[in-house]
Chains A and B, each alone.
Chain A
Amino acid sequence: MARAVTARKRWTYTVLVWIVALIIFFPILWTVLTSFKTEGDAILFPPAFLPPHWTLENFAEVQSRSDYFKHFFNSVVIAGGSTLLALIIAVPAAWSMAFSPTRRTKDILMWMLSTKMMPAVGVLVPIYLIFKNLYLLDTLGGLTIILTLIDLPIVVWMLYTYFKEIPVDILEASRMDGAVLWKEIVYVLLPMAVPGIASTMLLNIILAWNEAFWTLNLTAAGAAPLTAFIASYSSPEGLFWAKLSAASTMAIAPILLLGWFSQRQLVRGLTFGAVK
């Protein structure tokens, strides 16, 4: 009897979880399906779930009208570049906080995270002016810098929590074995922290890839990533749903695939340390 109840509970939870997942995933599913509809089918009322006439014309027109691969390349450069730069800054910062803390360490960490609570629009004007004066507007370098800075608190915080899990005496053993600081980090700390660093990198790539506010406000044509690519389909003539959906599908496909293949790492990274 007990076994039957457990199986029933399991099925109930499974169905519930699938329903919630489908509800969350539905907008993306709808967007992808709409990208294969004609413009007419896309605005049908009542809406058609599946495309009545499947077509690839939206993808062709999007690619011919604006250069998808150029925007894709820009997204890859700024997401990858900002992730690497954030890691270079965050690893020593997290090391210091985890293994050489002072009385102020926790306060500094909280202050860093608190900057994420401020609306970005509050500093849009000063950042814009700084970028303009430093000739960083519409440059890949400028975007890389701003994305590094806005996600740095999260990268530092995640690495800090991973580093705290590493036994200090292993690092002390490396010091006794003659390792100076950079060798201690490169030969001992980083190899042991690879799962944590991988999760942090994945999360940062996703955040940087999806970042729209700064990429829209600080670019024109030269350094515009895929977020600007999507926004360009919100035209004054009206919304072309099918083409907009096709542009969105092309923009999010790479990051969806990355997330799908690395979902275990992502989940592990986000929940690590939650259970002791």
Chain B
Amino acid sequence: MGRIILRNVRKLFGEVEVIPHVDLEIEDGEFVVFVGPSGCGKSTLLRLIAGLEDTSGGAIEIDGVDVAKDPPAKRGLSMVFQSYALYPHMSVRNNIAFPLKMAGESKDVIRSRVEKAAATLNLTDYLDRRPGQLSGGQRQRVAIGRAIVREPKAFLFDEPLSNLDAALRGQMRIEITQLHQTLKTTMVYVTHDQVEAMTMADKIVVLNAGNIEQVGSPLDLYNHPANLFVAGFIGSPRMNLISPPPKGHDGAKTIGVRPEDIELARDKGDWSGTVRIAEHLGSDTLFHIDAEGIGAITARATGEYPLSAGDSVWMTPSPDRIHRFDQDGKAIRH
């Protein structure tokens, strides 16, 4: 069981209130991702759950028990750090065995669990090496092995893929997702990369300046952002936010439309403009367009599209894919 509830959690560093007030429920077995820009408090929130920071107020319940005053060792959680945080003076075997040794397990239990974890993560051939002799991806697997071996109530990941190259990141993303499907244990994952958030999460928590902006499934956040911040943060390239909106959108202070929801044409459409830059990605083409009377617009077309810098273009946003926001930045729901 790994149900985590945060009730009115606050955190101050000196006089600075980095987390004013957080209420959040994480169900057993869920893969929850905390996402947000640098400095939004996502790592701090994770560290509060872990017990590496003390709360300034509120309760942190794990399976119904408030653990806010308990040290990390007593919370039954495992953590994977961005820097891997492996013990450099121990072999891979002893790194993975360390939590079991701290728990006082017998040598037989330690040996069998370490070998099982190593087999799961393809580390069997590296058990006698030191971390300094491993590649980045291998070190990350050792860090994950050390986390899974003690069968925690929940796993905490603090930007574990940030130090890896793009190809390895993609591969590890899939491995972590598969691990979640196999273990079915609660996972709380912090990242600033929204691609990781969108592809891995059952539930995304978007944070900004210590506040939760929205909680929901990836597609929920993508299709129904609650406010301007979430609308601009989720989705790559960024949603086009137009303020003041063009004619026909009275009642809204700002409208938003995603680049992929804009249809392009040579001869007619709702908005006209000139292509400033065309980015050819192979699978898609991105156009950065100066739209008349509106400003900079990004549009995405599937595959190769015959437009270049300097060309005139007409844009038509899909009417049912336009998001409307009031003067407080909140989404106007119909």
Contacts and interface: CB of A to CB of B under 8 A. Distances in A.
B20 interface: no
A183 B71 CA distance: 14
A172 interface: yes
A176 B102 CA distance: 10
Interface stretch (B84-92, B192-200, B269-277, B282-290): B84-92
Interface in A213-258: none
B89 A192 contact: yes
B264 to A, nearest CB: 48
Contacts of B82: 169
A188 B102 CA distance: 12
Interface in B35-84: 50-52, 71-73, 77-79, 81-83
Interface residues of A, number: 17
A170 B71 contact: no
Contacts of A178: 73, 99, 102-103, 150
B102 A173 contact: no
Interface in A169-186: 169-170, 172-180, 183
A191 interface: yes
Interface residues of B, number: 24
Given A169-B83, A188-B87, A174 B77 contact: no
Contacts of A179: 73, 98, 102
A167 interface: yes
Nearest to B156: A176
A187 B88 CA distance: 12
A180 B72 CA distance: 9
A153 to B, nearest CB: 28
Given A176-B52, A178-B150, 19 more contacts: A167-B83, A169-B83, A172-B72, A172-B79, A173-B79, A173-B146, A174-B102, A175-B72, A176-B73, A176-B77, A176-B79, A177-B102, A178-B102, A178-B103, A179-B73, A179-B98, A180-B71, A187-B98, A192-B88
A178 B82 CA distance: 19
Nearest to A190: B89
Contacts of B86: 170, 173
Contact of A172 (B52, B87, B98, B150): B52
Most buried by B among A172, A173, A175, A179: A173
A128 B19 CA distance: 57
Nearest to A188: B87
A205 B333 CA distance: 76
Closest 4 CB pairs of A and B: A178-B102, A173-B85, A177-B99, A169-B85
A172 B81 contact: yes
A175 B99 contact: no
26 contacts: A167-B83, A169-B82, A169-B85, A170-B85, A170-B87, A172-B52, A173-B81, A173-B85, A173-B86, A173-B87, A174-B102, A176-B50, A176-B78, A176-B156, A177-B78, A177-B102, A177-B146, A178-B99, A178-B150, A179-B98, A179-B102, A180-B71, A183-B102, A187-B98, A191-B89, A192-B89
Contacts of A180: 71, 73
A177 B79 CA distance: 8
Contacts of B79: 172-173, 176
B103 A175 contact: no
A222 to B, nearest CB: 43
A178 B50 CA distance: 12
A86 B93 CA distance: 34
A176 B150 CA distance: 11
Nearest to A176: B79
A113 to B, nearest CB: 27
Contacts of A174: 87, 98, 102
B150 A177 contact: yes
Contacts of A169: 81-83, 85
Nearest to A175: B72
A167 B81 CA distance: 12
Nearest to A178: B102
A102 B89 CA distance: 29
A192 to B, nearest CB: 6
A6 to B, nearest CB: 34
Given A188-B87, A192-B88, A175 B71 contact: yes
A183 B73 CA distance: 12
